[in-house]
Amino acid sequence: MKPRLPKIIYNNKAKSILGEINKILDSKITTGIPIENLHSLIYSRAAAVLTLNKQKISTDTQVKNVPVTPAWHRRITNKIDSIRRDIGILTQNQSLNPSSSVTKKAKAILEREQSLENPTATEILDHLKQKLKAMAKKLRWYKESNTRRQHNSQFSRSERSFYKNLESEDHEIETLQENKVPTPEAMKTASVPEANRPPSAAELEFERVHLLYDGMDPMMKPRLPKIIYNNKAKSILGEINKILDSKITTGIPIENLHSLIYSRAAAVLTLNKQKISTDTQVKNVPVTPAWHRRITNKIDSIRRDIGILTQNQSLNPSSSVTKKAKAILEREQSLENPTATEILDHLKQKLKAMAKKLRWYKESNTRRQHNSQFSRSERSFYKNLESEDHEIETLQENKVPTPEAMKKFWESTWGNRVIHKNTRWLFDERTSTSNLQTMSRVGIMEESSEEQIPLV
């Protein structure tokens, strides 16, 4: 029944307190002390250290599942509170008679916020308001993203608990909406008879999908993908569920029930702007690994930069090419005062290194796949290996040219007579080298070779 003690905040003060309490504890512990008394002494030691360290001890004897605020939430809310405090100080400083402490704090804020060039107090105040708006938007986006992540994780663990929590959330929202005072528009809409109301988009989509797939063989219907769960999908799901409740009656045949549930799922996907494939079977599409996509994207980016720099070195580059090349030259400043040619050469070396890295990754991945396949089934491993060798041999057989093709290829290169240009510089070269003595021919005889090379 003793209160649960929190973790000690360890600092220099706590260290000295702990040393003093340990000395007191040593004098209290004797040989043959009962275990209950020993536990009581150790508990009293920990409680005394916490009290002297000015830490609160809760009176609860049980651990409560208190939701832990994420670090990103605390970080952003602290920034928002800081910006709000600065806005309040600057607004108060613009009043008629601000106090000296407010003026001093406002001066410190104005000196700190120097992101603009010679800003006024009004400009800094407006900048802080925009910053506050951006941080609030960022916090809202983080919350929605975290909620989606939690829902997806809960759905993958247990669909039953997911839908149960979803119903409780919907019930809480409905309770809040019931307690709210209705608006005149809502009262006006509520007064319209049900028969005179136009059908909603969800009702129309549900009817369209139901007419399309009702009576079709379940094995011939397209396979539906997993829903991308977000706030929009949640509201669509609520509307479609209400429509489905009105369609299901007691004693409905299992085929009609399956058709209604399928139409519900297809309608939710369509309204959530997700594509439904027309294929009825799942295809084993090879998924490109993340490392392959990452390296190929880098290679494409480097090739694009090389192309822009090469085009910029032409005679008449366009203004857009010059602008892009300037941005690349400013970005690639790994060398000291590099020229455009040096940066271009550096990018080419970088491209060569990335291509080598991709090739090494592919070979490593192939080895890993082969080892994994060999450990699972040697028979399938050797079977696939033979099929790969057969494919390589087939490709090599198809690549070997015929004698006729070889003759035709080399005839087009060497069979035609070439007329060289007789320009001025060729005549000058011949004239400048005409007085050079021609090297005499060297005759290598068999006897002289035997004299120089000893026989083994």
Question: Which of these ranges, 128-137, 218-227, 358-367, 391-400, has the smallest mean pLDDT?
Answer: 391-400
Q: What is the pLDDT of residue 68?
A: 75
Whether residue 434 is contained in a domain is answered as no
Q: Please tell me whether residues 211 and 246 are part of one structural domain.
A: yes
Flag whether 447 is in a domain. no
**308 exposure class (CB count in 10 Å sphere: 0-12, 13-18, 19+):** buried
Whether 431 is covered by a domain: the verdict is no
- What is the rounded average pLDDT of the residues 377-389? 80
- Among 231, 254, 279, the domain boundary falls at 279
pLDDT at 430: 86
**pTM confidence score:** 0.32
pLDDT for res 323: 92
Whether residue 451 is contained in a domain is answered as no
Instruction: Check whether residue 264 and residue 312 sit in a common domain.
Output: no
Residue 454 has pLDDT above 50, yes or no: yes
Residues 215 and 242 in one domain: yes
Residue 304 has pLDDT above 90, yes or no: yes
Identity of residue 219: M
- Give yes or no: residues 386 and 299 share one domain: yes
Quickly state the pLDDT bin for 191 (edges 50, 70, 90): very low
Residue 226 lies in a domain: yes
Same domain, 113 and 32: no
Residue 171 is assigned to a structural domain of this protein? no
Residue 82 has pLDDT above 70, yes or no: yes
Angstrom distances, CA of residue 80 to CA of 74, 83, 142, 402: 10, 5, 14, 76
- Asked whether residue 267 falls in the same domain as residue 294, the answer is no
Of 256, 279, 302, the domain-final residue: 279
Q: What's the domain range around 206?
A: 200-279
Q: Does residue 36 sit within a domain?
A: yes
The reported pLDDT for the residue numbered 192 is 45
Q: Are residues 87 and 126 in the same domain?
A: yes
The percentage of residues in the chain with a pLDDT greater than 90, rounded to a whole number, is 10
Rounded average pLDDT over 299-325: 91
Q: Are 272 and 304 members of one domain?
A: no
Tell me: do 232 and 311 sit in the same domain: no
Question: Is 19 in the same domain as 36?
Answer: yes
Chain mean pLDDT for the chain: 81
| Cα gap 219→217, rounded to integer Å | 5
Helix, strand, coil distribution of the chain in percent, nearest 5: 70, 0, 30
Number of structural domains in the chain: 4
- Ranked by mean pLDDT, the top range of 57-61, 199-203, 278-282, 320-324 is 320-324
Residues with Cβ < 8 Å from 59, sequence gap 6 or more?
Answer: 3
The verdict on 95 and 147 lying in the same domain is yes
- Answer with the one of 250, 279, 308 that is the final residue of a domain: 279
1 and 53 belong to one structural domain: yes
Which range, of 23-37, 270-284, 364-378, averages the lowest pLDDT?
270-284
User: Considering the domain boundaries, does residue 436 fall inside one?
Assistant: no
Terminal alpha carbon distance of the chain:
100
